[in-house]
Amino acid sequence: MAYVILDRDGVINEDSADYIKSPEEWRPIPGSLEAIARLTRQGYKIVVITNQSGIARGLFNHATMEAMHDKMRQLAEAAGGKIEDIFVCPHAPKDACGCRKPQTGLFEAFARKHAVDLNGVLAVGDSFRDIEAALAVGARPILVKTGKGAQTLARNPLPDIPICANLDEAARYILANR
């Protein structure tokens, strides 16, 4: 079974410098839910791997995050897609944990839980730390320009990484290059 790993904020939903702190603030990027549905219909399993330091910063709690994830799953299902699993780092950067991207702990937890070899697994992100984590485990990263993607690209030339306008374009790229 083929998997596609997605970052959350800036890839699936609109991002905010003030953090996404509630289900009401969680708004999908146009075309992202349809992209998840397209990948699902073509046999891909979708997994979300996301840093959520807003928990450590006291901006929201685990229950609120779960409510945001319930909304994301329900909207993806209503569009015809399915999110198989979600892996979250709730720590702040100062915590120096092993799960906060660019560290690889969440990727490794996903691989263990689902018995997946990460080599070659597609991983879509909007930040340099998403790309770094994917490369560190042998996954194949794709950068989207939504969220922090345009800023990431301006600061970090990524000559060997596919660059897509958004998740919809990334899904089309994935399906055209299977």
> Measured in whole angstroms, how far is the alpha carbon of residue 58 from the centre of its chain?
22
The residues carrying an active-site annotation are 7, 9
* 140 CB-near residues (< 8 Å, 6+ apart): 120, 121, 122, 123, 134
E strands present in 7-139: 44-51, 83-89, 122-125
Q: What distances in angstroms separate CA 103 from CA 25, 48, 100, one per listed residue?
A: 27, 15, 5
Q: What is the CA radius of gyration of the chain?
A: 15
